[in-house]
Amino acid sequence: MHTLPLYKNPSLSIDRRVEDLLSRMTLEEKIAQLYQIWARPDNIDEVKAFIRRYGVGSRILAGSNLAGSGQEKALEIEEINEYQRIAVEESRLGIPILFGRDVIHGYRTIFPIPLGMAATFDPELVEQAYTIAAREASSAGVNWSFAPMLDIARDPRWGRIAEGSGEDPYLASQMARAAVLGFQGKDLSDPERILACAKHYIGYGGAEGGRDYNTAEITDVTLRNIYLPPFKAAVEAGVGSVMSAFHDINGEPASGSHYLLTELLKGELKFTGFVISDWASVSELVHHRVVEDERGAARLAFTAGVDMEMVTQTYVNHLKDLVESGEVSLERIDDAVQRILTVKFRLGLFEHPYADATKASQILFSPGHQQVARQIARESMVLLKNQGNLLPLKKTGVKIAVMGPLVNQRAALLGSWTLDGLLHETQTVAEAMQQAAPDAVRLASSDALQDEMLAEAMKADVITFFAGESDGRSGENHNVASIDLPAGQEELIEAIARLGKPLVVVVLAGRPLNLSRVARCADAILYAWHPGSLGAAAIADLLFGEDVPSGKLPASFPRTTGQIPMHYNFNSTGRSFNAVGETSPLEYAYVDRYLDVPGSPLYPFGFGLSYTTFSLSDLSIDRPEIHPDEVICVSVQVTNTGSRPGAEVIQCYVQDCVASITRPVRELKGFTRVYLQPGESQIVTFQLGAEELSFYGADRRRRLEPGMFKVWVGTDSTASLGTTFRVIKS
């Protein structure tokens, strides 16, 4: 009787199935699992022949032979299924393929850029967005997304700040968890869930000067306390893959660091999934000049802990020889293969390898998905200024000029890394504004000369000006040396402001920009990021008061490029911030260190206004002291003191007053969104325990040091309502 091999028996445990499969594989078949292949129009037959012969770990940019060159391409589900069929039916062991693709902030329904999603301070909604991204991507045969990007960024010149959650480790950790749970769910074998990938491990956002791919020098203490937390959160949420970064950190390329990949990630953090390199980051070890050739690159990356190689072929070409020469152990090969196979079993790929071609058309860009995209876009936008309550605008009885370089753009709504979003499904700002208030809105034609724009503005009662960046001004290797608005925009805004009409500036951007000049002349500023497919509708919703802004800045906004790096959680210095408490022991202040600009940012981390107002009172702690294993509750009463219902993000910041190493003056350790009717109050409580109060010390260990702590609760990082408590020795 023909019996099924054990690994094909779904009733057995995954460990048992992996063990059985491993025992049947040749070395070549194992090495093929460590390879992510790139099929291009010129090598399709070669790729198919390779898969038929050995199988393959993964195929990159699945669904397209054009490597992201077109946004309007047809879905290629059949093509994905064809590759899968070759692997499953024509290769000896029938191991299914992982199809990897950059599904960064949505698949077909595009959500705000991740930096915008972080501005919602709403992890539940962000999880919903990634759940939708997974549902759409999986329907098109993609079972692995190269997201979330978890790189902390303190330099807005760096274009990839758009792809992450900004400057704060705590906020980024909450977002990391939300993204991983959204992609992977609780059960990866659910056909609507896909594998997530935490990237780019680690310190990639610390590139000198904001120049992408550049060297980062980050002390171990900063690496662990600032850059590591989101990766730790992703691992704790069960992320199945991690991508190693391009850059070199502290003299070691990240894709060749045994300490970072094997000791820290797989050892200390107990990451059981697999590590994939970034695009060619293994072969680029040669360019880093830490190895002589590709054979050396394969040896270094693989022994450091990179399990799968993206695109380049150093593993495929050299690992066999490296095993035979004894430079790479068979145990390490088996370890890497086992990690990859385990994920494939967890995904249920052996049971359900194919995508259902009929499903995609029903769910892509469905009305339900659009609704979530519109909601999250509304929550992501940050109201930075609203002089005289200019906003919200009336829809009738006024003439509203709609103008500026971004008014008729579609791609700028979507932002970077939107391989599968469709431009024709994305409304422009002009269209959305006109739809929202047809009687009031007057459009300046898209090719209007600037003098014509001014003439048009002159006829209006209110001017809305849409400024900012194209989608291509941020993202990978799209860095800027100055964070001022693109050339000419400030002058134009100032010229319009001189007309003396009420002026609203809406900014679309992939990074914090220097708004100093705009803030001096605009009455209202709404920061909309690149808000996604439904972004224009969401802007109109907010401008006309269908909803009330509630977004908060996930990164500080400098007053000028020269202030960078600028982040709220700077370390105490010898001559800093009221360390000895001359005025109030709870005061928080940036020190003026430049002769030509104040020390503070233009807008601090966590800042964002509303159309209503909130007051905080009655801060209390449930006890004055705790033991290290206990939790303290910090409560505050929040009241909507304005005349509209609205949401506010209440934020809790902590300072460890005296520690064995210098520590940040304050750190975000909790936040809650509350939605209140006018006059309504709510008590908000934060719990602080070992997780929130401990840090990595100079000995690389996590420690909670007894002593005094300060805590503040407020609506941005300058919160001044505070108190103190003590952690006492057990």
With contact defined as beta carbons under 8 Å apart, do 604 and 718 qualify? yes
The residue assigned the tokens 């194992």 is 30
Site track 260-289 with ligand BGC (rule: CB under 6 A), x = hit: ------------------xx----------
Q: In what order do the strands lie in the sheet with 721-727?
A: 625-626, 721-727, 707-714, 646-656, 667-676
| CB of 210 vs ligand BGC, minimal distance in Å | 16
Distance between start and end Cα atoms, the chain? 66
The two tokens of residue 595 are 């002769």
- Nearer residue to ligand BGC within complex by CB, 35 or 146: 146
| CB of 606 vs ligand BGC, minimal distance in Å | 27
The one catalytic residue in 155, 168, 278, 420 is 278
The two tokens of residue 35 are 């390879």
- Nearer residue to ligand BGC within complex by CB, 83 or 279: 279
Q: What is the dihedral of CA 22, 26, 30, 33, to 10 degrees?
A: -100
* Crossing angle (nearest 10°) for helices 169-184 and 229-236: 30
Among 199, 374, 530, 666, binds ligand BGC (CB under 6 A): 199
Instruction: Look at residue 507 and give its three-state secondary structure.
Output: strand
- Total number of residues that touch ligand BGC (CB under 6 A): 6
d(Cα 323, Cα 693) in Å, to the nearest integer? Answer: 46
| CB of 163 vs ligand BGC, minimal distance in Å | 8
Cα–Cα–Cα angle for 411, 60, 96, rounded to 5 degrees: 135
- Nearer residue to ligand BGC within complex by CB, 278 or 705: 278
Our answer to whether residue 278 is catalytic in this structure is yes
Instruction: Look at residue 15 and give its three-state secondary structure.
Output: helix
d(Cα 226, Cα 653) in Å, to the nearest integer? Answer: 15
Cα–Cα–Cα angle for 569, 575, 580, rounded to 5 degrees: 85
With contact defined as beta carbons under 8 Å apart, do 96 and 365 qualify? no
Which residue is nearest to ligand BGC, using beta carbons? 146
Radius of gyration of the chain (CA): 26
- Nearer residue to ligand BGC within complex by CB, 64 or 408: 64
| CB of 213 vs ligand BGC, minimal distance in Å | 9
| CB of 73 vs ligand BGC, minimal distance in Å | 16
| CB of 195 vs ligand BGC, minimal distance in Å | 13
- Nearer residue to ligand BGC within complex by CB, 102 or 716: 102
| CB of 82 vs ligand BGC, minimal distance in Å | 22
Strand duo 614-621 + 524-527: pairing = unpaired
| CB of 483 vs ligand BGC, minimal distance in Å | 22
| CB of 489 vs ligand BGC, minimal distance in Å | 29
**What is the DSSP track for 136-180?**
HHHHTT--EE---B------TTSGGGGGS--S-HHHHHHHHHHHH
- Nearer residue to ligand BGC within complex by CB, 198 or 226: 198
- Nearer residue to ligand BGC within complex by CB, 68 or 599: 68
- Nearer residue to ligand BGC within complex by CB, 199 or 395: 199
| CB of 310 vs ligand BGC, minimal distance in Å | 7
* Cβ atoms < 10 Å from Cβ of 341: 25
For residue 35, state whether it binds ligand BGC (rule: CB under 6 A).
Answer: no
The two tokens of residue 269 are 């953090």
| CB of 472 vs ligand BGC, minimal distance in Å | 15
Residue 685 burial by Cβ neighbours in a 10 Å radius (0-12, 13-18, 19+): middle
The residue assigned the tokens 């509630």 is 550
The two tokens of residue 565 are 């790096």
Cα torsion 401, 402, 403, 408: sign: negative
Residues recorded for the chain: 730
**What is the DSSP track for 381-443?**
-EEEEEGGG-PSPPSSSS-EEEESTTTT-SHHHH-S--SS--GGGS--HHHHHHHH-TTTEEE
Buried b (16+ CB within 10 A) or exposed e, 114-143: bbbbbbbbbbebbbbbbbbbbbbbbbbbbb
Site for ligand BGC in 412-451 (CB under 6 A): none
Site for ligand BGC in 97-156 (CB under 6 A): 102, 146
| CB of 204 vs ligand BGC, minimal distance in Å | 8
With contact defined as beta carbons under 8 Å apart, do 184 and 193 qualify? yes
- Nearer residue to ligand BGC within complex by CB, 80 or 407: 80
With contact defined as beta carbons under 8 Å apart, do 333 and 9 qualify? no
Site for ligand BGC in 457-486 (CB under 6 A): 476
- Nearer residue to ligand BGC within complex by CB, 107 or 279: 279
- Nearer residue to ligand BGC within complex by CB, 201 or 570: 201
Site for ligand BGC in 499-518 (CB under 6 A): none
- Nearer residue to ligand BGC within complex by CB, 199 or 378: 199
d(Cα 142, Cα 361) in Å, to the nearest integer? Answer: 15
Q: Active-site residue numbers?
A: 278
Residue ranges that bind ligand BGC, judged by CB under 6 A: 102, 146, 199, 278-279, 476
